[in-house]
Amino acid sequence: MSTHHPGASAPAPEPSRTPARITPAQITGITVFPVLGAGLALQGMPVDDVLTLLAGCGAIGAGTIAAASGGRHLLTTLATAAVRAAAGAEPHSK
């Protein structure tokens, strides 16, 4: 039995997926955080405070990228994790 239908329209072609490229902004973000953290620690800031500060900056950056790219699911997940972390609650397993 054939699945060919003579009068049917052809399916729409799927867009080609290009491989992800690493941008200079990503490289800068990855290198700046450890350098900034080391600099703050060398200036006398407690390591716990450095890690908290940099984690907050990373979360804000990830949230901004997710919002700009339309990643609503990722943004919702990040917001939920942030609220649970602020409340001191443990994440629930599904």
Structure tokens at 55: 């984690």
The full length of the chain comes to 94
DSSP string covering 29-83: HHHHHHHHHHHHHHTT--HHHHHHHHHHHHHHHHHHHHHHTT-HHHHHHHHHHHH
Q: For residue 32, what pLDDT is reported?
A: 86
pLDDT for res 44: 95
Phi, psi of 5 (to 5 degrees): -120, 110
pLDDT tens digits, 18-48 = 667 778 877 887 788 889 889 999 999 999 9
What's the rounded Cα separation, in Å, for the pair 89 and 66? 24
